[in-house]
């Protein structure tokens, strides 16, 4: 079966939750209580039927602080959201700030300026509406949502002369990576913006944003990821113009950035769809799709016999002058995850993100 746009969450008691598009366009949430040895369907249910009738983008998120599981499915006009604390689901049939939604991300973290109600964290929902990258927030754990303020990114940037979205200069679109909330309530939203890696930072729950350019070696796509540790160090990953994965670090909360570090193992010739998580100061794990057998100039490569694997690259000293990276595929190379081309941008059956 295909598993498009998969997301995976782990609760504090060890339960795994997973969702993705299936080959027959079904969207289900499945759960494993035994580290993946067995799985069962636990989808939100109303009257004996799946409460989420349609999804153009499935997405699942587990709040690390509370282990609340959020399952949000896109309908373009808005999204259906259900959440559970382990027993039963609460369903919100209209979870968004305003209509025309695409490529959503949902994430949570401590409040910076607000008082929450009945739930300790602010829940953020950000999406692409073509003309901008916009966000809404919930102060009651996902029951109601309010607009945050100014967009994190404009859809059109006339001052930018890099090739834009769909090749239109200045039109950068609203597609972005997945968001992150730091321990102090700082919100990070990364984006390949008009051909370069950018990060939008908000210290007031999305009311206002500061946009910073992370590097100048280009991006192959809008997907990027960013996390922050408790000391304020920010780690940012993206796929550069040469289609290889890079990492940059800021030690001053985004004001300046280190020289980009290429992090793939030596045989990888192309990558796509980066995602990242953090375990502590300098301890990060980055995943991406990668291939070792795409050859020749990028614009003239033939992908008929190319295979793609899932890669994980980890380091425990990302802040050192010469960090050490450990990499491996998560699948046997004899059993690749994708055959033929995988991006830039959409990656065949995987689609837009992992």
Q: Tell me if 174 sits within 8 A of 128, measured CB to CB.
A: yes
Of 151, 239, 248, the residue nearest 200 (C-alpha): 151
The per-residue DSSP string of 50-95 comes to: ES----SSEEEEE-TTT--EEEEEE-SS-EEEEEESSSS-EEES--
Give pLDDT tens digits for 196-253.
999 999 999 999 999 999 999 999 999 999 999 999 999 999 999 999 999 999 999 9
Q: Is residue 164 pLDDT above 70, yes or no?
A: no
Give pLDDT tens digits for 27-47.
899 999 999 999 999 999 887
Between CA 175 and CA 317 the distance in angstroms is 31
Dihedral of CA atoms 228, 221, 353, 325 in degrees, nearest 10, equals: -50
Of 221, 218, 342, the residue nearest 289 (C-alpha): 342
Between CA 272 and CA 309 the distance in angstroms is 10
**pLDDT at residue 78 in the model:** 80
**pLDDT at residue 165 in the model:** 60
Give pLDDT tens digits for 98-126.
667 888 899 999 999 999 999 999 999 99
Of 173, 71, 82, 81, the residue nearest 128 (C-alpha): 173
**pLDDT at residue 338 in the model:** 93
Two tokens, residue 297: 């100039």
Q: How confident is the model at residue 278 (pLDDT cuts 50, 70, 90)?
A: very high
Average pLDDT value for residue range 15-26: 82
Between CA 195 and CA 216 the distance in angstroms is 9
Two tokens, residue 180: 């992150």
> Between β-strands 132-138 and 49-50, what pairing exists: parallel, antiparallel or unpaired?
unpaired
Collapse the DSSP code of 278 into the 3-class scheme (helix H, G, I; strand E, B; otherwise coil) and give the result.
strand
State whether the Cα torsion 215-219-222-226 is positive or negative: negative
Most confident option among 48-57, 58-67, 129-138, 148-157: 58-67
Q: Is residue 22 pLDDT above 80, yes or no?
A: no
Any idea which residue has 């996390």 for tokens? 227
Q: Tell me if 5 sits within 8 A of 57, measured CB to CB.
A: yes
**pLDDT at residue 51 in the model:** 83
**pLDDT at residue 52 in the model:** 83
């Amino acid at each position: 079966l295909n598993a498009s746009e998969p997301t995976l969450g782990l609760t504090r008691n060890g339960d795994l939750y997973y969702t993705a598009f299936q080959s027959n366009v079904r969207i289900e949430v499945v759960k494993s209580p035994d580290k993946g040895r067995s799985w069962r369907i636990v989808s939100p249910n109303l009257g004996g039927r799946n409460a989420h009738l349609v999804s153009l983008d499935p997405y699942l998120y587990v709040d690390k602080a509370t282990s609340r599981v959020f399952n949000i499915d896109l309908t373009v006009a808005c999204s259906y959201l259900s959440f559970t604390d382990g027993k039963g689901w609460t369903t919100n049939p209209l979870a968004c700030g305003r209509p025309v939604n695409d490529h959503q991300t949902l994430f949570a973290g401590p409040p910076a300026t607000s008082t929450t109600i009945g739930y300790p964290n602010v829940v953020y929902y950000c999406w692409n509406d073509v003309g901008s990258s916009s966000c809404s927030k919930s102060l009651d754990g996902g029951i109601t949502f309010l607009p945050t303020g100014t967009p994190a990114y404009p859809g059109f940037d006339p001052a930018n002369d890099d090739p834009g979205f769909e090749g239109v200069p200045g039109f950068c679109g609203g597609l972005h990576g997945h968001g992150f909330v730091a321990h102090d309530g700082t919100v990070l939203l990364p984006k390949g913006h008009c051909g370069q890696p950018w990060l939008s930072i908000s210290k007031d729950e999305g009311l206002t944003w500061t946009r910073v350019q992370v590097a100048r070696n280009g991006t192959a796509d809008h997907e990027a990821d960013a996390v922050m540790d408790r000391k304020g160090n920010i780690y940012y990953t993206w796929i550069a113009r040469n289609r290889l994965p890079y990492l940059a670090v800021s030690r001053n909360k985004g004001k300046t950035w280190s020289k980009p570090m290429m992090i793939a193992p030596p045989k990888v010739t192309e990558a796509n769809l980066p995602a990242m998580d953090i375990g502590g100061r300098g301890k990060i794990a980055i995943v991406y799709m990668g291939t070792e057998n795409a050859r020749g100039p990028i614009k003239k490569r033939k992908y008929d016999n190319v295979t793609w694997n899932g890669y994980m690259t980890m380091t425990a000293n990302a802040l050192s002058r010469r960090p050490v990276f450990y990499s491996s595929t998560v699948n046997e190379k004899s059993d690749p995850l994708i055959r033929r081309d995988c991006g830039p941008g959409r990656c065949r059956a995987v689609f837009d993100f992992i």
